[in-house]
Amino acid sequence: MRVAQVSAHTSPLAPLGGRETGGMNIYVLDLSRELAALGYEVDIFTRRDGDLPEVEPIAPNLRLVRVDAGPPAPIEKEEIAGYLGDFARGMERFAARQPEPYRIVHSHYWQSGRAGAVLARRQRAPHVVMFHTLGEVKNRARVSEREPRQRIRIERGIVRRADAIVTASAHERQLLERYYHASPSKMQTIPCGVDLELFRPRDRADSRARLGLPAEGPVLLWVGRLEKLKGVDILISAVAALDDRSVTLLIVGGDDRATPLRAELERQAREAGIAANVRFEGAVAHDSLPAYYSAADVCVVPSYYESFGLVAVEAMACGTPVVASRVGGLVSTVTDGVTGYLIPWRCPEPFAEKLEVLLHNPELRANFGRAARRSVERFRWRTIALEMAALYDRAIAGKRPHRNEGAGFGKEAYEAAVLAAGH
């Protein structure tokens, strides 16, 4: 079976930690690797943003396909919507050169969903969608968030027309029903996966030595895209409220576009008197993250919104307890009082309180860490890929061809089809 994975706005091979690179990149790449290992022929479509080849083999049965749409250079994510017609036509031209059609089109994020709907129609294939984040939910999670109404309107159109919708958690499923009126019969909850061979407990002393950290002393860790929705300011204030002034806080993630926020956070740390305690590590390669998780006593996830919370799962896979916001998918991945703590309020004091408890109780941390590792076995990638493959089979079995599929599409008709996907 040939599968098209659509990731229009970001390449799964892009360096992690940037403004547009994070858990979704890992998800698309690792899911595709596992499907390819199961025997599926998988192509990942993304927008070309540099002088790179059209087709790049990644693994047996797995290729990255770069599509010309807009300038061959990085652009702001918000600008990509204007080039989705070109992106859809580029995918179709590539598909037309292949010996067999795609049996499934699986789109990731709303922009991909808009273009993926066109490719699915032309290939007479079911359209499977995973949103990863939802505009309406982001706006409700934090007052200052301003996701455009166009995005939310397009998401609603995709929800109506998709053959199947994958949700990472039961909470995301509920949000799609509540705010987007998604049909329960279309949705299936399949969590994100984690590479349990890469993310596993490692020697704490070796990990700290590798990172230039003191062998003793408390270390806290935050990992992710550096953006306000991730709540790093809450964490800095929580660290400032701790009794122990020897705590080291590692902040991993952030590219050049995050420079203004980093400067703001650095200023916050200086004013709180803990600038010497905070290390901004910048973006880090994915395979280097296990050393950070293993070096830390606690991983903190103070986000306002997480559809799944991959960082928490990676940390727990490394045997590191998690203190996280009680939001979104984190509720289904972190077990309060067993693998870490869930904080229902987005303010520093309750985070500081639970961090104090864990930092002063090494035996409790160790118990949480062992339970955390056991708890993530359900997220093994082979398990997740088999669930996804079963969903694909059901979607194909339930697909009914449209009466006018196969008709030729000119430029104007393609543009109209892409626009129709969002209305």
Residues 231 and 313 in one domain: yes
**Based on the domain organization, do 368 and 400 belong to the same domain?**
no
CA-atom Rg of the chain in angstroms:
22
109: in domain: yes
pLDDT at 11: 87
- Assess whether 368 and 384 both reside in one domain: no
Residues 160, 263, single domain; the answer is no
pLDDT reported for residue 423: 43
Residue 279 DSSP SS3: strand
Cα gap 203→409, rounded to integer Å? 58
Alpha-carbon gap, residue 10 to 74, rounded angstroms: 9
Q: Are residues 43 and 160 in the same domain?
A: yes
pLDDT at 407: 39
163 and 301 together in one domain: no
* Residues of the chain predicted below pLDDT 70: 15-22, 143, 400-423
- Residue 263's CB: how many other CB atoms inside 10 A? 10
86 is a domain residue = yes
Residue 330 lies in a domain: yes
Give how many domains the chain has, as a whole number: 2
pLDDT in the model for residue 225 = 87
Is 83 inside any structural domain?
Answer: yes
pLDDT score for 404 = 43
Report pLDDT for 141: 83
pTM: 0.88
CATH code of the domain containing 298: 3.40.50.2000
Using the structure block, give the residue that is written with the tokens 């059609």: 101
pLDDT at position 393 is 97
Distance CA 64, CA 48 (A): 10
Do residue 124 and residue 270 come from a single domain?
no
Which domain range does residue 399 map to? 2-193+380-420
Whether 120 is covered by a domain: the verdict is yes
The maximal CA–CA distance of the chain, rounded, in angstroms, is 69
- The answer as to whether 199 is a domain residue is no
Residue 77 has a pLDDT of 76
Q: Does residue 58 belong to any structural domain of this protein?
A: yes
pLDDT for residue 419: 54
Task: Identify whether residues 116 and 101 lie together within a single domain.
Answer: yes
Clarify whether residues 388 and 300 are in a common domain: no
Same domain, 241 and 157: no
Backbone angles phi, psi at 57, to 5 degrees: -65, 135
Chain CA centroid to CA 361, Å: 32
Residue 299 in any domain: the answer is: yes
